[in-house]
Amino acid sequence: MHQHQLHELELTAFPSLVRLEICSFSGHKIYPAKGKTYTFRFINGKAASYFLQRLNPRKIRWTVIYRRLNKKGMTEEVQKKRSRRTVKHERAVVGASWDAIRAKRNQKPDARAAARQAAISKSKDAKKAAAAAKKAANPAGSQAKVSKQQAKGFAPKAAATSR
């Protein structure tokens, strides 16, 4: 057999689905026939030693856990998500068409102030008219109401004083 054929034979003999374990301490991949296994799997003696010393993998810089927490080496894996800019759409509101809204917005400030004053004076006049009509309709109710207690002659209680 030639060297080239032997190399192809080796490649096909190796199974394509290899079961990879994950190191319990560092998070690295453990290939078959590597690492130590207790209840946990460790990629090498260094990881096992740190685990037995109860060192926190979040604080050890070469562990996958540390790198994930501190966002190291993420640039080639995932691009940053782009945030969408909000676009302001100008629409009509119930009771007012878009043309009416635009016309009010483009009015001169003094014209708007005059219109506001006219509306205020109109509403005040309407209130006065309503009050006058109510007063004319109820002339007998203008007497001051007296409670039963006052009619009997009880004096009001003295207000409590604070210390």
Q: pLDDT band at residue 15, thresholds of 50, 70 and 90?
A: low
How far is CA 153 from each of CA 5, 26, 96, 148, 160, rounded to the nearest angstrom?
Answer: 124, 91, 61, 9, 21
Over residues 36-86, the pLDDT tens digits come to 888 898 999 999 999 999 999 999 999 999 999 998 987 665 666 788 889
Cα torsion through 51, 55, 56, 57, rounded to 10: -50
pLDDT at position 16 is 64
Domains annotated on the chain, with CATH: 8-69 (2.30.170.20)
How high is the pLDDT of residue 6?
47
Instruction: For the chain, count helices (H), then strands (E).
Output: 6, 4
Mean pLDDT of the chain: 82
Percent over 70 (pLDDT), the chain: 80
pLDDT at 28: 94
